[in-house]
Structure 1
Amino acid sequence: MKTLKTWACAALLLASAAGAQALPKAVRERIIQATVMLLPTDANGDLDGSRGSGSVISPQGYILTNYHVVGDPDTRQLSPWIQVRVVQFADREPEFTYWGKVVAADPNLDLAIVQIVEDRNEKPVGTLNLPFVEVGDSNALSIGDDVFVFGFQGTGGMTLSFSRGSVGGFTGEDLSSSGRQWVKHDAQTGPGNSGGGVFDDSGVLVGVHSAGVAGDHNSRTSFMRPLALAWGLITPNVTGFVVRKGGGAAVTPSTNVSAGSGGGVWPPALATGRAGVTGTVRVTGGAAAGTWTTDFTEVTDDGGLKGRARSGSRDQTAFFYYDEDNNEVWVEWTPDGKAYSSCVVEPGGVKAGSADWTGNLYSFTGLDSKGTRTGDCVVSLRARAAGTSSSGPVAGTPAASAGPGLPALAAGQTWTVSFSQGGAYSVTLGARDSDGDYPGTAAQSGKTGDALFTLDGDSLLMIVGRADKTFLTCTVDRTLRGSARAYQNSKDAGAAAGTCALGSGAAGSASPGAALKWPLTLKVGQRWDVAFPGVGTFTVNLTEPDEESGFDGTATRGSEKGSVLMDADADELLLIVQRADQTFLICSAGKSGLSGAAVQGDATSHRDSKDKGTGLGRCTVTPR
C-alpha cells in the first residue's frame, strides 16, 4: 500500500463541481487572506524543496496543516523552521513574511499546528492580529454537501488556487473500512494543496485536504481529514480560535475547552486525535468511589473515544463521548459491557478558569436499565502528547522528556516539590504505571502521603496528597517553576495557591541556607545563583546532562537570558555563563572556597573563546 505522503504527492484530480454553489465574495476574500504557503527548512533556514498549504485559525498566528507538510511521517522528524508565505495579491505568488515553529503534531493523523513566532528578519512578532478562518463541525457533513478547497496546488504556477466539489462519502482509517476518519471529495487538487483548508458552504473550515488516490480505470478521489480529528491538537495548543457550529453564531473561547482545559465554553471539544486523552475521574459515593485513571486511545465510529479506566485492581473498558440529543458529556466504564458507571457532565459543570468538570455519577445494571444516581464525580482530562505511548516503557526505565528542557522521570528518583503556600515535600517515585505516570510517596515533617508525577507535552504535573486528605498540584514548564493549586477534596474545583518549584534530590538537598559538601553533587532541576563582581547575579537552572560529566542549562539576570555549563569534580567547580551577546563569564572554585552554604572562586570575563579573559575578582555560587 502506498504511503500517505505518496498519495498526497501523486494527486492531480479532475473537478466534479457541477451544482456547487459559489461562496460570497467577502467570504472568499477572508479565506484567501487566511490561507498561507508553508515551506519547511533545516536548522539553518535553508529550504528542503517541499511545500504545502495551511489555514490560519487564530489571529495570534496559529496555522492548521498536514504533518507531512512540516515533517516526515515515516521518521517522525519535524522541520526545525517553517517559512510562512502570505497572499498579498491573488494574482501574485505569496510573499515570505514570517517564520513558524511546529507546536503540536500527530503523524498518525497527519495533522499539525504551526505557530508564527518571528518575522522574516528573525525578530519576535509580539502580539499578532492576523486574518483567520472560523472552525466548524465536520460531523455535520453529509454526502453531496458542497465543499471548497483553497491552497497552492502547483498546477498553473505558485499562486493561490481555488476549487470546489462535493462530499463523496466517508471511510475508515485504512481508506476502505467503515468510519469517518476520512472524508472523500471531488474538488480538483494537486500536491501543493496538502494541508490546505476545505470549507463548507458557509465558509467555515471543516477539513484539511491531505491525500489523493488514483484508482482503476482513471478514477481519482481526494481525501480530507475532518476537522473533528484535529480537536486534540487545536484545543490544548491554540488560543483565540473561533468555533461556528450548525450555522449558528460564532463562539470565541476565552479559554479553550478540550479534555482538561476548562474554560466554560460548551460543548467541550473531544480530543479525538490518535494521541488520545488521559486523566482521572474522581468519584464520591457508591461502589465506584475512588479515583479512576483513564486513558482513551481509540476513536469510535460515532466520533467518541474508547480506552481503559483503572482504580486499584479494577481495570475496565471506558468510553468518552458527547450526547448531542441530551446536551451532556459522558465518561463511563464497564467491567463486562453490561453494567456501567457513568459520570454525566452538563453545561453547568464546566466552569471558566477551571480544568475540572463536575458531574453526577450514575450506575446502570444493564444496557436497558434505568440509571441510579449514586454519587458525584469530577473529570480531569487532558490531551495526551502526540507520540506518547499509551502503555509506556517498561516500569523502572526513564521516560522521554515531555518537552525541551524537561527532565526524564524514573522509578527510585527523589525530588523536592516546594510550594510557596505549603512548604517543601520530598517525593520518591515508584515504578511507572500502565498510563505512563509515576505514582510515589510525598513526605513532610514525618508525615507521608501519596504523590503522582506525569509528563504532558511541554509541562510536568505533580499531585501531592497530604495527610489530611487535601492535596496540592504543581504544574511547571522547563524552568521547573510554575503555579500551584490547592484542593480540599476530590469534589473541590481547586483554588490558586501561589507558586511552586521542582528540584532534584530530597527536600533540604542543595537548598537555600543548607551547608554544602565537597565535591558538590549536581543534578537536573537544581537552581543556583552565581554572583559576578561588577556584572550582577545570574540564576542558573540545570536542565540536562552534557556529553561529558557536566550539566547544561539556562542563565537569567533580569530580562537577560543566556546559557550555562556547570561541572564539579573532586578538584574544581566550574561554571560558564554564555551571555546573549556571545561573550561569557567563568567562575572557577576549589574546595578551599567552600564556606557553609556558598562556594567562592575566581571570576573572569571573556569576549570570545580565544580571549584569555579579564579578571573580575571573587565570584560566589549559592543554591537557590
Structure 2
Amino acid sequence: MKVWACAALLLGSWAGAQALPKTVRERIIQATVMLLPTDEEGELDGSLGSGSVISPQGFILTNYHVVGDPDTRQLSKWIQVRVVQFADREPVFTYWGKVVAADPNLDLAIVQIVEDRNEKPVGKLNLPFVEVGDSNTLSIGDDIYVFGFQGTGGMTLSFSRGSVGGFTGEDLNTSGRQWVKHDAQTGPGNSGGGVFDENGALVGVHSAGVAGDHNSRTSFMRPLALAWGLITPNVTGFVVRKGGGAAVTPSTNTSAGAGGGVWPPALATGRASVTGTVRVTGGAAAGTWTTDFTEVTDDGSLKGRARSGSKDQTAFFYYNEDDNEVWVEWTPDGKAYSSCVVEPSGVKAGSGDWTGSLYAFPNLESDGTRTGDCVVSLRAKTSGTSTSTSTTAAPAGTWPPALAAGQTWTVTFSQGGAYSVKLGAKDSDGDYPGTATQGGKTSNALFTLDGQSLLMIVGQADKTFHTCTVDRTLRGSARAYQDSKDPGVAAGTCTLASGAAAASTGSAAPALKWPLALKVGQRWDVSFPGVGTFTVSLDEPDEDSGFSGAATRGNEKGSVLMDADASELLVIVQRTDKTFLVCSADKGGLSAGSVKGDATSHRDSKDKGTSLGSCTVTPR
C-alpha cells in the first residue's frame, strides 16, 4: 500500500505539471480563430487553417500556406475570420481580414482584421489575445500545448498536448533551430495554429507533419523567434511574456506619465522636450548628469545634451524594443558611450525614479562592461520650460491629446523619413487637415483621433500617401497606398512627436541625389512588400562597381549586393535559404528621402522571379 501511495502521489504531481490552468486555456480558446481564404471572386477556395490573435487590435499570426500559395507567392485577397463562441460548436464567421505581412520562406504571415462580416470597417477592437513568449528558451522534453481546428472529429476546436522532441535546420536534416519537433496530435487544419508553453505563452506556430521512413508521424512548428521580423514592424498592442514572470506590454500603455509602473514609460517612446537627471554610482561616469532632450531622431529616439560639471556630451534616450529595455546614454565623441540601462523591474508604481545598471562601451563594436548603478529622473517639459519656438505645440503627457488648429507635430516613417505637420482648422468631420513639410517640399496632411488611436495621413504630389496609426505610446505601424482605392501594404513603423523637429529643414531625412553615391559604412533600409524590411550595411567594394555587405531582418541574417549607376539602383538580398530578393529602381523613383522601385522574389539564379510590387530604399 505504501508503494502504491507513493506512486499515486508521483503520478498526481506529474499530471499537475502537465496541466494548463483552466483560466489560461479559456483565454487561448477565445484567441484561436479559424481562417478561410477566398479566391479571386471572393468565394471560399475550400482550404482552411488556424491562427492566434496576438493583439487586441485584431492582428493574427498564422502560416503563409494558410493564406497564400508559397509556390506562386500569391496571397489571398481576403481572409474570412471565424471565432469561437462555444467550445462545442463550430466557430462563427465574424470578420474579414487582410494579409499585412508575410514571408513564404518562413511560411509565416500576419492577418489584420479590418471589416466585420457585413464588410463595414471595424473601428477600434478589443479582442481576446494571447501573450507572446520566448521560443529560444525551449528545451527537449518541455511541455507544449496545441490549439487549432485540426479537422479530426469535425470543425470544432481541438486541443492536444505533447513535448518538444528536438530541433532541426531549415531542410529538416541539418543542425539548427529553424524547426521545433514535437509529438502533440495534429491534423491539416492545425496549420497556423498556436503552440504554447507551460505558462500559456505563444512559442510557436504549428506548420507541418511528416511521416515515413519507418518513423511515426512527427509534427513540426516554426519557433516564435522566426516571427519577430513580421511582428515587430507590423503589429501594435502585442504583449511579451519573458520566462515565467509577469507579462510586459511593449506597445500599449495605460498611463502616459513616467514612473507609474507602466512599461515602457511613455517618455521613452518618441516624445520631444524631456528633461531631468541621471545619478550614477561607480565607475568613471559617477556623479549627477543633467539631461535635456529636445530633438526626435529618424528612428524615434530622443537626442539632446548631458552635463556633469565641466563635461558636456551628446545624449540619447530611447526604448530598445528588441531587448525590452530603456536606454539613457551619453558620449563625448560618438565612439565611447556611458549607458544607463533600465529594465521593466526598474520602474516602480508610485515612484518618479527608474533604477538601472550603468555600462561603459569603449566603442560601438565592443560589448559593454557594467561599472555601476544609475537612477533616472525624467519629466516632460512644461510650456514654461520648453525651448520650442513660438509655434503652437501639441500637448504632451495627456491622452487622448487635445488637437487644435496651429499645433505642430512630427511624424517619422521608418521607410520615408520625418515630416513636420502643421494642423489647420477642424473640418466638418471633426478631423484636422494640414500641411506636411519635408526637405523644403510641402504636401497635404490629415490628422484624426479614432477611438484610442491617432491617425496621420501624409499625401504626395503623385497621389500616393502614407498613414501612421499610433496608440498612447505615439509609436505604431505605417502603411503605403498607391491611391485611395488601394488596400495598402505594410510600410514598417512610425512615430509621432509633439512639436516641430528637424524635418522642416530636411535634416531628419537628407535629400537624395541621383545617381546615389554609395560607400563603405553606409546603412540602408530596403522594404519588400509581403516580406518586410531588411537593414543592409555596406562593408566592402565588390569586383565591379558595387558594394557587398550584410542584410538583417529581425533574427534573419543574409547578405546584400548594392550597385548604383546613372541609370539604375540595384539591391540584391540573398537570404539564408539561398533564395533572393531584388529591388530595382531608376531616377523616376527618387523622392526627397527614399527611392521606390520594383521588387521581385527569386528561388535561385535561374528563376526569372515573381513580382512582389513596389520596394523602397531609404538611408538610415
Q: Normalising by the residue count of structure 2, what TM-score does the alignment of the two structures yield?
A: 0.46
Largest Rg, 1 or 2: 1
